[in-house]
Amino acid sequence: MTNILIFIVGFLGIVTLVQILRVSELMSAVHKQDVNEVNEKDNIFNSKMMLIVGALFLISFFWQYFEWKHLLLPEASSEHGVIIDELMTFTMLLIIFVFLITQPLLFWYSYKYRKGKGNETAYYFAHNNKLEIIWTVVPAIVLTGVILYGLSTWNKITNADVKGATVIELYAKQFNWTARYSGADNKLGSAHYKLVSPINPSGTNALGVDTRDNDVNAAWKDDIITTPVDNVVHLVKGQPVLLKFRSQDVIHSAFLPHFRVQMNCVPGMTTQFAFTPTKTTAEMKATEGEDFDYVLLCNKICGASHYNMQMKFIVETQEEYDTWMSSQKTLSEKVSTQTVITELVTQK
Amino acid sequence: MESTLKKNTSKQLIWIGMGSIAMFFAGLTSAYIVRKGEGNWVELILPEWFWYSTITIILSSFALVVANQKIKKGKSVFSLVLIAFILGLLFSFFQLNGWKEMINQGVYFTGNVPNDNTMTISYFDDSLGIPIHVDSLNNNDRSINDRSTYDVCIIYSDVISSGIILNKGLLPDYAFIPKRSDTIYGCTDTLALNYNRNTTVDDGSCYYTCESGVTVFSTTHPYPLNYNLVWKDTNGHAFLEANTTIFADSNFSIPVCLPGCYNLSVTRTSTYNVSGSFLYVLTLSHFVHLIGGLIALMVTVINAIRKKYSADNYLGLEITSIYWHFLTILWIYLYCFLMYL
Amino acid sequence: MSDHHKETFITKYIFSIDHKMIAKQFLITGMLMGIVGMLMSILFRLQLSSPGEPFAILEWFGVDWNPTLDANGNVIGTPIMEGVLDPNLYLSLVTMHGTILVFWVLTAGLSGTFANFLIPLQIGARDMASGFINMLSYWFFFAATVVLLISLFVHTGPASAGWTIYPPLSAIKETIPGSGLGQDLWLIAMALFVVSSLLGGLNYIVTILNLRTKGMSMSRLPLTIWAIFITAILGVLSFPVLLSCALLLIFDRSFGTSFYLSDIIIGGEALHHTGGSPILFEHLFWFLGHPEVYIILLPALGIVSEVMSVNSRKPIFGYKAMVLALIAIAFLSFIVWGHHMFITGMDPFLGSVFTFTTLLIAIPSAVKVFNYLATLWKASIRFTPAMLFTIGFVSTFLTGGLTGLILGDSALDINVHDTYFVVGHFHIVMGLSAIYGMFAGVYHWFPKMYGRMMNKKLGYLHFWVTFICAYGVFFPMHFLGLAGLPRRYYTNSAFPMFDELTDINQLITTFAIVGGLIQFIFVFNFFYSIFKGTKATKNPWESNTLEWTTPIERMHGNWPGEIPTVYRWPYDYSKPGAEKDFIPQTEPLKEGEEEH
């Protein structure tokens, strides 16, 4: 029934529209006017609209900014994040400056130079080498500055000194994250996807860490893997962290907006990102409200629950961290050593 | 006027089309370079056939060059075009043989590639703690199709003194898998260690004692590889089969006792390396474009028979030639690319 | 050439080799696909503004659509259960919306229409170099359309790995239902589409190079033709790479190769694929993907230049600079693809190089914007609906281009990559700009296409509502992005930090619905005017270019007699000393008159 109603309403709408158009065309035929010829009235109407809508557009830009300013991400909580923010502010101010010059100009010209009384003919102005050179060279110079500033920031971020950084692995899969701390030796034990338990019966853990016990393979022993129950990453304020990323199935992207950190997690390879948190969760709660938490999001389309692939991060003081750390069990305490890595299976 | 225009536009169409095709191959070959740069890449040897096909296609291109010169003088080009066409077919034949050869070498489209690692098989006796029989086997020979067969003999009398009589119940049931055949030879004595309930005919292979041995494999290959192992007794009947993944510098042990002489064949079941797939994609894509060229050549042959070409009207021949030369250059490029890069 | 065979209905309207008819076929197919794509966006916008809430309209859509059946064939569910969209369908809609808009509407619908329509008419040719290839081009496109539409009705749903179809998500059907048959059909459709684009592109280039009428030197070409010419070159060089990229994906999906796949565990099973690299796919894809952005944008730039000049009654400012800027943009577009991949773990040095090349594009873009402003300066603007859309174009091109400075900067990209900031940016700079260019083109050349005028008032209504709503939709998205909201999220309710963004989302959805519905006014105006519009005169806009010298009645061959000769560039508007404010290209230079 509703469908029929919708159909009828739609149909009547179209019929009405057709009738209105017919009437208006007949009217103009009576007045010996071409209904679709753009006349003075149209030019005045549209040029005024240009001015009004242009003004509204610029006002709405400011309105949006002041109305929604508080929703934007708070100041960066990491060392490199601060320099990203500085670059962002610089670039933003630059583009807003250009925006606020060119857009009003566009709407103003559209308003001012409408065809009509007093402006029947345009000024023949085909080219002007001087002008053209100016507006090629000026953007080029400005961009050189932007590029140099951008690249110096980029180099600072990517060439961060990772010596002494705590190594933590983030392992992504549909649709959750698992973290592995490198433990006392600050080295992650080697891992292979074929060792992921329970895919491989002789695997001992869900991250595929190779837990065979021999001279060359000991880094895994003090590794700590987070459990689904307590799936939180703890970081120390001021202590550099080197995050290493792996993925089990599809491409995910680890996005820590408050730290200005983002890196893809790609199956078959390890990626990394180094940063230093500068504000504890408690400090952030004090400024941002009690319900604030650092979160890790997935930022690369990865399937149905992409929107809900999250993990909490806690930044705390060294003492708090140590207390928490001491309550954690290392991998060697949790799992039995692998003896052999095999799958003896029957052939059909 | 009209005909020069037609000539120009047709020629340009084919040139731009070739530019497009070239970009397609540029995409593929740059993917090859990028992928190769990432490591984990098995170098493959191109079959000899591709060398023959290279010469063939150059010759056929040459025939078309001569044909173009002859037609300008108004001479008949039928035989030359036919030669080019036949050489083109020969090229296809060589390509097919090349792919066949690749398959024989164990290079498959899905990415299987030959093994070039050293594999060691040793046989341990737990009670003695020393290897009884060590057979180091170098599996470097590509021509044996990634499947190696070893004859291993455990000198039974050497170990019988320390041998432990094993209850057959300790042997895992799955260790005995008959290969499918109508008559299954083997041991029918339920008291024997190698009793197999699927056996239909007793061939006297029953044995009753066994030391607690393990067969240990190790590999030096940097990546985990999958192997299929089949043991056959002296009568050639498979009595044990296992699939395993062997990691770099790690061992694989089968905790079953295997006295007597047997034949062990080791087949790597899935060593995937994308280098083989690239080889196929590049050569097959060229071949797909070549089919178009062959059809065009065939049309040219027919037109030559019907004497459609003359000194001032040989656009069809010219365009076919341009495309065919393009295929030749493309193939030479691919050949050099795969051979020397 | 003018003595063409008698046309039957089939050869005139269906398997036509007349470029004008093929252009109309492209336009109407593109428009219909545009409606489909737009409706999809409204469906997922509803979900975003009120996540998880039922909507009667969704229920209406969801009835009997792609039902899940039990063993006995009874319906146990649909992707829209009781008016609520499920997450997989949400991703499908997002993917198909992107695919349809990027390829079907803004590539084929825009380039296909105006390249086919304008090239022979504006360069003075009877038809395309090869009418047959041209026809093939359309019918490959049509087949692609059919395959893509069929994929909407596949049991497991259409492709849903995003329009960029990154593997492994797009390669393994267990990761998301849409990567099953839906993705296969997507790839087939895309392969057909690429063939169509290549055939079209070949034809455009050859026609422009060879079939220009006497006097039509390259420096007298209208900017539309220049833009289309460069677009065609871009397409011919970049689409084959997409084909090779898709080919390898097809092999990975169906033939067990490992080009893009490595070390993957899905559903408790380790896949056999080893040694592939998903990043390789991204490189290949964006090698096409980035030029594709300009394949979309350049024709719009061309159309806008032409329409703006005509309606400003003033030559386009800096013709040579405009052409050089087009060429520079096209060239640079081939060496910037890495800016889509700053956070894939690429070599930081490579990141620097791509930042450098990417930001360079701002220079020719800035030149274009300043030249447009200079064209409007001291103009005598006649506000036709087409002119309104060109002004809208300059505005969106500017707004969207500026935010590109942020996204092209590798350091800044870290925090805005894949957030709504990106969605806002590319919808404004590429989506809106190109669609405005398309609207401008349709309003401007409709009289030439159908011999009738489109209704002016409906055009004004269409423009103003579209312009306001489009900014209303996409401008706030920058704020969402700066608040850290990732794109392609089914709902933002899973994170408390995004709770306050719901208001913005509701605002966006409201604008989207109004802006979406107003497009039906355009569609109505279009079809109404085809049959009932007022009759057009031969040169209703008093334009200089050659297409307006052809008779009003459509004819195969374009000009009844000789093709006119060209004596001047196409932008002699308001030239001092001339009788009228426009001098058609066919008018010989007067004695002592300088060309420009």
Residue A308 domain-assigned (yes or no): yes
Q: How far apart are CA B87 and CA B290, in angstroms?
A: 12
Half-sphere exposure of B226 (CA within 13 A, CB side): 17
Q: How far apart are CA A328 and CA A312, in angstroms?
A: 17
- pLDDT-based confidence at residue B330 (cuts at 50, 70, 90): very high
Residue B161 has pLDDT above 50, yes or no: no
Radius of gyration in angstroms for the set of CA atoms belonging to chain C, rounded to a whole number: 24
Determine contact: B281 vs chain C, CB below 8 A: yes
Residue B270 has pLDDT above 80, yes or no: no
Angle between helical axes of C502-532 and C19-49 (0-180°, round to 10): 150
| pLDDT tens track for A29-64 | 777 667 778 888 899 999 999 999 999 999 999 999
* Three-state helix/strand/coil letters over chain B: CHHHHHHHHHHHHHHHHHHHHHHHHHHHHHHHHHHHHCCCCCCCCCCHHHHHHHHHHHHHHHHHHHHHHHHHCCCCCHHHHHHHHHHHHHHHHHHHHHHHHHHHCCCCCCCECCCCCEEEEEEEECCCCEEEEEEEEECCCHHHCCEEEEEEECCHHHHCCCCECCCHHHCCHHHCCCCCCCCCEEECCCCCCCECCCCCEECCCCCCCECCEEEEEEECCCCCEEEEEEEEECCCCEEEEEEEEECCCCEEEECCCCCCEEEEEEEEEECECHHHHHHHHHHHHHHHHHHHHHHHHHHHHHHHHCCCCECCECHHHHHHHHHHHHHHHHHHHHHHHHHHC
Please report the DSSP string for A172-200 in residue order. EETTEEEEEE-TTTT-PPPB-GGGBTTTS
Q: Do the Cβ atoms of A249 and C264 come closer than 8 Å?
A: yes
- Residues A304-332 have a mean pLDDT of 91
Q: How far apart are CA B213 and CA B72, in angstroms?
A: 82
Q: Do the Cβ atoms of A77 and A278 come closer than 8 Å?
A: yes
Token output for C210: 């060879």
**Interfacial A residues in 141-200 facing B (CB < 8 Å):** 192, 194
Residue A314 domain-assigned (yes or no): yes
Query: Nearest to residue A61, comparing CAs of C403, C429, C417, C479?
Result: C479
Contacts of C208 (CB under 8 A, 6+ apart): C119, C123, C221, C225, C228, C229, C232
SS3 C480: helix
Sheet containing A261-265: order of strands: A232-236, A311-316, A294-298, A252-256, A261-265
Name which of B2, B3, B9 to mutate to probe chain C: the one with the most chain C Cβ atoms within 10 A of its Cβ: B9
Residue C311 CA, chain-centre distance (Å), reads 24
The domain in which residue A199 lies consists of 166-334
Q: What is the DSSP letter of A308?
A: G
Chain C residues near any Cβ of chain B (below 8 Å): 129-130, 133, 198, 201-203, 205-207, 209-211, 236-241, 243-245, 247-248, 251, 255-259, 272-277, 280, 283-284, 287
Nearest CA in chain A to B228: A347
Residue A348 domain-assigned (yes or no): no
Name which of C212, C259, C265, C292 to mutate to probe chain B: the one with the most chain B Cβ atoms within 10 A of its Cβ: C259
| pLDDT tens track for A101-155 | 999 999 999 999 999 888 888 889 888 899 999 999 999 999 999 999 999 999 9
- pLDDT-based confidence at residue A193 (cuts at 50, 70, 90): confident
Residue in the structure block whose two tokens are 């329409």: C307
Sheet containing B118-125: order of strands: B130-138, B118-125, B213-219, B251-254
CB pairs under 8 A between A and B: 33
B272 φ/ψ angles, rounded to the nearest 5 degrees: -95, 125
CB atoms within 10 A of CB A323: 11
Pairing of strands B225-233, B238-246: antiparallel
Q: How far apart are CA C103 and CA C105, in angstroms?
A: 6
SS3 C507: helix
Contacts of A227 (CB under 8 A, 6+ apart): none
Write out chain C residues lying below 8 Å of B223, CB-based.
274
Q: How far apart are CA C225 and CA C217, in angstroms?
A: 12
The pLDDT score that the predictor gives to residue A341 is 42
Write out chain B residues lying below 8 Å of C231, CB-based.
none
Residue A40 domain-assigned (yes or no): no
Q: How far apart are CA A49 and CA A46, in angstroms?
A: 5
Nearest CA in chain B to C199: B17
Average model confidence (pLDDT) for chain A?
A: 87
Token output for A3: 């469908």
Contacts of A319 (CB under 8 A, 6+ apart): none
Radius of gyration in angstroms for the set of CA atoms belonging to chain A, rounded to a whole number: 31
A128 φ/ψ angles, rounded to the nearest 5 degrees: -155, 105
The pLDDT score that the predictor gives to residue B162 is 29
Q: How far apart are CA A294 and CA A311, in angstroms?
A: 9
Amino acid found at B212:
S
The pLDDT score that the predictor gives to residue B211 is 45
Q: How far apart are CA B277 and CA C110, in angstroms?
A: 38
Q: Is the whole model's pTM more than 0.90, yes or no?
A: no
Amino acid found at B198:
N
- pLDDT-based confidence at residue B41 (cuts at 50, 70, 90): confident
- Tally the domains of chain A: 1
Domains and CATH numbers, chain B: 2-111+274-340 (1.20.120.80), 118-270 (2.60.120)
Write out chain B residues lying below 8 Å of C287, CB-based.
27
Write out chain A residues lying below 8 Å of C405, CB-based.
91, 94-95, 146
Half-sphere exposure of A154 (CA within 13 A, CB side): 27
List own/partner pairs for A209-217 with CB under 8 A and 24 or more apart: A209/A180, A209/A331, A210/A338, A210/A341, A211/A331, A211/A332, A211/A335, A211/A336, A211/A337, A211/A338, A212/A337, A212/A338, A212/A339, A212/A341, A212/B250, A213/A337, A213/A338, A217/A189, A217/A190
Angle between helical axes of B274-305 and B315-340 (0-180°, round to 10): 160
C-alpha angle with apex A64: A58 to A67, nearest 5 degrees? Answer: 140
Q: Mark yes or no for CB contact C243/B24 under 8 Å.
A: yes
Q: How far apart are CA C480 and CA C413, in angstroms?
A: 15
Token output for A318: 């060294």
Closest residue to C380, CB basis, from A34, A60, A119: A119
Determine contact: B243 vs chain A, CB below 8 A: yes
Half-sphere exposure of A39 (CA within 13 A, CB side): 8
Domain ranges of chain C: 9-49+86-549
Write out chain C residues lying below 8 Å of B227, CB-based.
none
CA distance B22 to chain C (A): 8
Between residues B148 and C566, which one has the greater pLDDT?
Answer: C566
Between residues B184 and B38, which one has the greater pLDDT?
Answer: B38
The C-alpha torsion from B197 through B201 and B207 to B211, rounded to 10°, is -50
Q: How far apart are CA A177 and CA A297, in angstroms?
A: 9
Residue C439 CA, chain-centre distance (Å), reads 11
CATH code assigned at A225: 2.60.40.420
Q: Mark yes or no for CB contact B174/A344 under 8 Å.
A: yes
Q: Is the peptide bond before A175 cis (omega within 30 degrees of 0)?
A: yes
Write out chain C residues lying below 8 Å of B287, CB-based.
none
- Residues B298-315 have a mean pLDDT of 88
Q: What is the DSSP letter of A279?
A: S
Q: In this structure, which topology does domain C9-49+86-549 adopt according to CATH?
A: Cytochrome C Oxidase; Chain A (1.20.210)
Between residues A332 and A239, which one has the greater pLDDT?
Answer: A239
Q: How far apart are CA A256 and CA A299, in angstroms?
A: 10
CB pairs under 8 A between A and C: 372
The span from the first CA to the last CA of chain C, in angstroms, equals 34
The pLDDT score that the predictor gives to residue A38 is 85
Q: Do the Cβ atoms of A150 and A88 come closer than 8 Å?
A: no
Residue A255 has pLDDT above 90, yes or no: yes
Query: Nearest to residue C575, comparing CAs of C561, C563, C590?
Result: C590
- pLDDT-based confidence at residue B87 (cuts at 50, 70, 90): very high
Least confident of A319-323, B271-275, B293-297, B313-317: B271-275
Token output for A312: 């909490």
Least confident of A287-296, B116-125, C271-280: B116-125
Q: What is the DSSP letter of C15?
A: S
Residue A2 domain-assigned (yes or no): no
CA distance C565 to chain A (A): 23
Digitized pLDDT (tens) for each residue of chain C, 596 residues in all: 344 556 677 777 778 889 999 999 999 999 999 999 999 999 899 889 888 788 777 777 666 677 777 777 777 777 777 778 888 889 999 999 999 999 999 999 999 999 999 999 999 999 998 889 999 999 999 999 999 999 998 888 899 999 999 999 999 988 998 898 999 999 999 999 999 999 999 999 999 999 999 999 999 999 999 999 999 999 999 999 999 999 999 999 988 888 998 888 888 788 878 778 899 999 999 988 899 999 999 999 999 999 999 999 999 999 999 999 999 999 999 999 999 999 998 888 989 999 999 999 999 999 999 999 999 999 999 999 999 999 999 999 999 999 999 999 999 999 999 999 999 999 999 999 999 999 999 999 999 999 999 999 999 999 999 999 999 999 999 999 999 999 999 998 889 889 889 899 999 999 999 999 999 999 999 999 999 888 888 999 999 999 999 988 878 788 888 889 999 999 999 888 888 889 999 989 887 777 77
Determine contact: B239 vs chain A, CB below 8 A: no
Please report the DSSP string for A11-55 in residue order. HHHHHHHHHHHHHHHHHHHHTT--TTS--HHHHHHHHHHHHHHHH
